[in-house]
Amino acid sequence: MLDVLIVGAGPSGLVAALVLAQNGIKNIRVIDKIETFQVGSRGFGVQPRSLELFKMFGILDDVMQHSTPVPTFRAYKPGEPQHVKEWDLYPKSKPWPDRPFTGQVCLSQDDLEAALRARLATYGIYVQLGKGLTAIEQDDDGVTATLAAFKNKEETGEKEVVKTKYLFGCDGARGASRKLLGLTFEGETKDADGQVWGDVEIEGLSTDFWHIWGVPGKFTIMLRPRDYERSPSSKNFSVGITGHSFDPADLQLDVPEKLEAWIRECTGRPELKFRNWTWLSKFKPNMRMVNTFQSGRAFCVGDSAHVHSPTGGQGMNNGIQDALNISWKTALVLKGLSSPELLKTYNEERLPIIALMLQATTNLYTAGMVARVEARKELPSGTAPKDTKPASADDDRKTGWLRWRNDALELYGVNYRFSSLVYDDRTPLGTDQDAKDVALARAYAGYEGLGTLAAGDRLPDASGLVSLSGSSEKEWALLDLFDTSKHTVLIFAPDGDTSLPGVLKASRLCGLYPNDIVQTVILFPPGSCPQLPPDNTTKAFVDGDGHARSVYRVGDEMAVAVARPDGYVGAIVMPKDVQRHNGEDEDVSKGLTTYFGKVFDWAEITSPARYTM
C-alpha cells in the first residue's frame, strides 16, 4: 500500500511530493496523464512569499537562475508603434531584514517544474507520465484508485488498481480527482470574455520592456520578454491577449499566421516577425472553488480546488501553499505522531483564505474590465481613445487598487490567526465569535501596517544572526534555519539575565521531542556573551542587529515563538501573563505543551512532571 498517491505533476503536486520526501515519506507515487512534460510560461508570476518557501524547499538557487524581474511596462496607443508611457509595477526597493525578497519575479512554469523534479530526484522519486486517475473508492483503511494508461489524452484500456492511505488530487481544474470525489465547483465563468496565452520568438521588438497595446472595452495585447535581463540576445516573448466580448476562436489559433497578422495590425508594427510557437492556448476566465478541500482520505490541492482570473498572479502561488499545508500534516499522521484529526485543519485553514483570494482577484479582474468598457462607452463608435495611458503604482489616486495589489497580493498578509491549531499568550483570539469573524475577514489581506505579530501570521525573517557555535563566521538569517520537516522553537533570552533559568528550562522541555521533528534555537540580545552548557541539539545565536527581537515584537523579557514547518507562527508563548494565569509566575511549559498538544498525539510526555531541573 502506498502512503500517498499524488495525481498531477504540476507545481502543487511536485511541491506536495517534495515536502513529503523531506519529511521522510518516500512511499509515494506521482502520476500525470500527459505523455511529455509541459512547456511554456503559463503561470509565470512568482510572489515574494513563494520565494521564501523555495528557499525552505532547497530550490531557490535553481529558481533564481531561471527567473527575471518584472520588466518596465510600455503602453502604446492602438495601432501606433510609439509608446505613450512607461512605468514599473513594483517600486524599486531594497530587501528588508524581515523580507528578503521584494516584488514579484517572472518564472516560466516549465522551469519551476523542472527545478522541483530535479530536487525530487535526489530522493529517488520520479513522475510517471501517461497514467491517469479514472475511479476512486474509499474505506476506513484507505483509498482504492483505478488508474489507466493514457495516449493522446485518451485511455488505452490498460487498467491498474492501486491502494493508498491518502490521495492528493493535484490534477487541475479539468482533472478527474475533484469530479470523482463529487465535490462542487462553485463560481462563475466569464463567457463574454476571452484570453489567449502563448510563447513565441519575436524579431523587431525591444526585449527591455513589457509592451502593452489596448482598445478599452475590446482587447489588450501584452508582449513580455521571457529572458529579460538574463539573456539580452534572446527573442523569446510571452504573449497575452485579453478582452471583453472577445472570442479567441475568431483568431483561429490553429493557423498561427492569422494571429500574427492580427497582432501586427493592432499594434501598428508590420515589421514584427514571429517564429517557433512553443505553446499557444485559449480559454474563458473561470472563478471557481470547491465546497470543501477534503473528502475522507482524499484532498484537493491547487487548481483542482480553485481557479480564477490570472489577475494578481495568485493561483500557482496559493497552490504551493495548499501543498505545503497538507503535506507536513500528512507526514506527521503517517509517522504516527499526530492524529488524523490534524488533517481537518487543512480545510479549516485553506478554504477561508482561498475564498477571500478568489473574491479579491475576481474584483481586480472585474474592476479592470469595467474600467475599459466604461472608457470605451465614452467614445464615438469606431474611434480609439486619445490617450490610453494606464495608471501606475505611483499615480493611482482614484482607486488605489494597484497599491493594494502590491501590498496584499505578495501574500505576506496571508495568516491563520483564526485557526484552532494556533496558540497565542500575547494576543489570544479568545472564544468570541465576533473576534473570530474579524480574523477570518483578514485571513488573506492580513494586518499590514498595524505593527503586530500573532500566532498564525507569516514567519518574519531576520538577518544579522551570529552563531555561538564558533564553527562558522557566516552571518545567519532565520530563514536559513526554518525547515519544512520540523517545528522550530525560537527562544528569545531575556536581556541582562545571566543565569537563564527560564531559557534552559524551555530548551530542555523542547528537547524531550525528537530533534527530527522539533528543533530549538536560542536567540540572545545584541551584545550578549552568554556561557551555555554543552548541548548538541540546541542552536544558539546572538541577534546581532536586533532585527529578530524587533520583528517578533519582543522586549527585554523572555518570549517563545514556535515556527511551523509551512513558514507560519504556530504559537507565541510568554512566561508571564497576569490576566490569563491570575498572577502566577509560570514558565513557558503550559503554553508549549498546549500548542504541541494540538499538533502531536503524545504531548503528555513533555509535561513538567516528567522531567526534573
Per-residue model confidence as pLDDT tens digits over 255-308: 899 999 999 999 999 999 999 999 999 887 777 899 999 999 999 999 999 987
**Helix crossing, 11-22 with 315-334: angle to 10°?**
30
Tell me the average pLDDT across 148-175.
94
Kindly state the helix (H) or strand (E) to which residue 419 belongs, with its residue range. Answer: none
Sign of torsion over alpha carbons 438, 444, 448, 452: positive
Stretch among 249-253, 316-320, 419-423, 604-608 having the lowest mean pLDDT: 604-608
Query: Which grid cell is 572?
Result: 507565541
Tell me the CATH number of domain 2-67+107-188+287-356, given options 1.10.10.10, 3.30.200.20, 3.30.465.10, 3.50.50.60: 3.50.50.60
Say what the alpha-carbon torsion angle 565, 350, 55, 115 is, to the nearest 10 degrees.
120
Predicted confidence at residue 374, as pLDDT, reads: 47
CA–CA distance, 536 with 477 (Å, rounded to integer): 20
Query: Which grid cell is 181?
Result: 470525489
What architecture is domain 465-610?
3-Layer(aba) Sandwich (3.40)
The most confident of 94-103, 300-309, 338-347, 422-431, by mean pLDDT: 338-347
Give the pLDDT band (50/70/90) at residue 105.
very high
**Structural contact between residues 283 and 315, judged by C-beta atoms closer than 8 angstroms:** no
Tell me the average pLDDT across 11-34.
98
Kindly state the helix (H) or strand (E) to which residue 68 belongs, with its residue range. Answer: strand 68-69
Q: Where are the domains of the chain?
A: 2-67+107-188+287-356, 70-103+191-284, 465-610
Q: What CATH number belongs to 70-103+191-284?
A: 3.30.9.10
Residue by residue, DSSP assigns 220-277 as EEEEEETTTTT-TT--EEEEEEEEET--GGGG-TTSHHHHHHHHHHHHT-TT-EEEEE
DSSP bridge pairs for 195: 242, 283
Predicted confidence at residue 550, as pLDDT, reads: 95
CA–CA distance, 441 with 90 (Å, rounded to integer): 26
Tell me the average pLDDT across 192-206.
91
Predicted confidence at residue 383, as pLDDT, reads: 39
pTM here is 0.89
The residues near 525 (Cβ < 8 Å, ≥ 6 apart) are 493, 494, 495, 542, 543, 546, 549, 556
Order of all β-strands in the sheet with 45-46: 45-46, 105-106, 68-69
- Strand bridging mode 487-492 / 475-476: unpaired
Side-chain-side CA neighbours of residue 57 (13 Å): 31
CA–CA distance, 176 with 197 (Å, rounded to integer): 24
The percentage of residues in the chain with a pLDDT greater than 90, rounded to a whole number, is: 59
Q: Is the pLDDT of residue 314 over 50?
A: yes
Nearest to 44 by CA among 103, 101, 112: 112
Say what the alpha-carbon torsion angle 428, 483, 348, 296 is, to the nearest 10 degrees.
-150
Report pLDDT digits (tens) over 567-601.
Answer: 999 999 998 643 444 444 457 889 999 999 999 98
Tell me the average pLDDT across 406-411.
70
- Strand bridging mode 518-524 / 487-492: parallel
580-588: which pairs have CB atoms within 8 A and are 24 or more residues apart?
A: 580/425, 580/428, 587/502, 587/505, 587/506, 588/502, 588/505, 588/506, 588/509, 588/558, 588/560
Q: Compare 400 and 236 and report the one with higher pLDDT.
A: 236
